[in-house]
Chains A and B, each alone.
Chain A
């Protein structure tokens, strides 16, 4: 190896990097490994089996929680992506105006406040509305998820719009296309990768949320993470490992997609 003559080389840095990766993945590896354990133990390995997956699949609590999670995440994803797309169009495609920075700050607000503070604030606010109107239901949970998903959907859409070449849209306008047609035939198709990445991020963020859901969700609105949290507090079983492994798998697939979209964008630029 010619490492010592490489002027970028710093001693020990590769070792720390390997340590970092091992540190990040070792606990997850243990979790996944013991989800396939035939034994009830999550520490002593006996035999390979898929029993815990079968058991989790037939568990009614898990089924219901998964359906609630899916319902909330899909609706929150659609709503937040639409709002984020509209907001991103304004903050990148109109002439700078007074209040532009303020609008961006408002959109990013959920990222700057600790989640537990947002959670109790939302709890209080919804309690007041519930008391005043008597309306209950899953709508509250969906509204809370939509609000904190907006900045996550907004980021990749804005990044995509900022990277896009304006000349195509200008050419469309020069050829007498009305503004809406320019948007539908040129801007929208070009910003699609950003919208898809934003939608997936919003979906993951909603699916993963624990804290806000814990405070806002009413009875019968247990999402999968809340169900898992409840089980962890009761004691460790391989069934949780099995559910968690499936959950991790879904996140990894979605992140891979987002990563590939991102890379495609960079490749297109070069």
Chain B
């Protein structure tokens, strides 16, 4: 049947042409955005990788000599005289503090954010929108200004200390600012809305007939919360936790303002290397380690949500 095969090839030729046209259109529409992000977001990251295995230049920048000093420096201190390496915890401490503060922030945000999201989700629709609006506003307002507001409150002459003195609980101001506690509080303050919104999104769709059914089966309020509501809200809880944990780990503004020089986090350490310390390779190495920590937490999140078959994207 030669005729049929001719139409077949003609058809497939037009399909190929159409496919080619589609690909062309797709490419020209996608290219500007993808290229911009590739050039300014992805390519520089690979340059960071290269810089981390070079030697620092005299006035910032790098000199093109292969060296793994930057990574060795993370854990060991080199003696100036005999070049022996001794184990040092000064940078490790900053990493541990960042991870500790990140976990503290996530847990604190969850403890405040979950009940808030649940309460909002159980309100009548009209009032729900007002509550949501109140949570959304801080989500999109300037983090620097909000952190500055926190500084005003926590200072020695700030509202918290002055009112504690006024009611006679303390005699003189207790230093809150420039402590790990101040940074932790600032991080919770900064990222709390990131926890509430995704949990709300998953609770909004909750089928309350399940709750009713468990009450019919004589479950207590706590048991309903633990066995029905929390398991059903898990995708939202996981998303909220990752949205809080990642920016907390890489926090820069909050520790810079509320931690001063005493409570440094990884972000500040990186910025120091590109500023005063002029050690770009070391800064690049720290940035990469931070990236790895963040990617590991993201992978854990993706795997746990994929295993439960709960991903929507």
Contacts and interface: CB of A to CB of B under 8 A. Distances in A.
A binds B: yes
B246 A114 contact: yes
Interface of B: 22-23, 25-26, 29-30, 32-34, 36-45, 47-48, 51, 61, 112-113, 115-116, 118-120, 122, 129, 131, 133-138, 140-146, 148-153, 155, 157-159, 162, 189, 192-193, 196, 208, 211-212, 215, 221, 225, 246-247, 249-250, 252-253, 257, 266-267, 270-271, 274, 280, 283-284, 287, 290-291, 294, 298
A30 interface: yes
B34 A106 contact: yes
B221 A10 contact: yes
B253 A215 contact: no
A147 B37 contact: yes
A16 B34 contact: no
Contact of B30 (A28, A87, A112, A228): A87
Which 8 pairs of residues, A with B, have the shortest CB-CB distance?
A: A114-B250, A121-B44, A27-B149, A83-B33, A125-B44, A147-B40, A16-B115, A31-B149
B141 A17 contact: no
B162 A43 contact: yes
B287 A121 contact: yes
Nearest to B111: A16
B149 A83 contact: no
Contacts of B208: 7-8
Contacts of A7: 208, 211-212, 215
Contacts of A26: 153
Interface of A: 6-14, 16-17, 19-21, 23-28, 30-31, 34, 41-43, 82-84, 86-87, 89-91, 94-95, 97, 103, 106-107, 109-110, 112-125, 127-128, 143-144, 146-148, 150, 154, 201, 204, 207-208, 210-211, 214-215, 225, 228-229, 232, 236, 240-241, 244, 247-248, 251-252, 254-256, 258-259, 263
Contacts of B134: 21, 24-25
Nearest to A228: B144
Contact of B36 (A17, A83, A122, A236): A83
